[in-house]
Amino acid sequence: MTRRATARLLGAAVAVVVLAGCGGDDTSDSSASSDRTRHANRTHETTATTATDGASTDSPAGAATSEAADGPAFPAGTAAQEQDNSGDWDLVLTDVRVGSHEGYDRIVLEFAGTGVPGWSVKYVDEAVLDGSGRTVRLGGDSVLDIYASGTTYPAEGEAGYEGPQHFAPADGGDVDVDDVYVGGTFEGYTQVLAGLDGVPTPFRVFTLTAPPRLVVDVAD
């Protein structure tokens, strides 16, 4: 008999004794480990800023806790991905950051407000801003067009995104995301364009909560 089977028999015997005597309750403890990933962004000028994203402590919306750190599996190809937003929404963009992880680079759009953002993410031939139709010049060889749905402008007196509109990841990192342009919000959608080094590679998209975030991981 294995140790696990013996432990189960002993546990069952103890439970019978306790229930026969005075009733009982069943409690269990759980623990989760988290790691903190450092992200650094800089503007296209010379100002450098650093942000920490504790994404691994949260669960992707609608996914198991075990997927919190890594998200769903990467698809085999590079096809566009779409998902509707859900819940009563008033999401306002507050931060955009980029970080390097083992095997992939992560782009995070963080929001304030309620609801779960939806998305439409795809590779495009050129970086074009929604609404104005203006073309943006981005560094890199490929362009990833990211839309978060269920978003709106900040209410009067409410803080929104105050970071750089055009920035690149900090020097010295192994990030294949070469350039980022925050396009803004238009008719319920917030657009972010990313210029990537090399040919298009598979990407995955999911959401995190507390605060609401849209995560785009691009495979190296």
Indicate whether 43 belongs to any domain.
Answer: yes
Asked if the model's pLDDT at residue 1 lies above 60, the reply is: no
Residue-range definition of the domain harbouring residue 137:
35-219
The tens digit of pLDDT for each residue in 5-48 reads 433 333 433 333 333 444 444 333 333 333 323 233 322 222 22
Burial tier of 93 (Cβ tally within 10 Å: 0-12, 13-18, 19+): buried
> Rounded to an integer, what distance in angstroms lies between the CA atom of residue 82 and that of residue 211?
21
What is the phi/psi pair of residue 158, to 5°? -95, 140
The count of structural domains within the chain is 1
The tens digit of pLDDT for each residue in 70-108 reads 789 999 999 999 999 999 999 999 999 999 999 999 999
Cβ-Cβ contacts under 8 Å for 82 (sequence gap 6 or more):
118, 119, 120, 121
Indicate whether 131 belongs to any domain.
Answer: yes
Indicate whether 114 belongs to any domain.
Answer: yes
pLDDT confidence tier of residue 179, bands split at 50, 70 and 90: very high
Q: Are 169 and 175 in contact (CB under 8 A)?
A: yes
Indicate whether 10 belongs to any domain.
Answer: no
Indicate whether 22 belongs to any domain.
Answer: no
Q: Which helix (DSSP H) or strand (DSSP E) does residue 86 occupy?
A: none
CATH of the domain at 151: 2.60.40.3500
Q: Are 180 and 166 in contact (CB under 8 A)?
A: yes
Indicate whether 12 belongs to any domain.
Answer: no
Indicate whether 7 belongs to any domain.
Answer: no
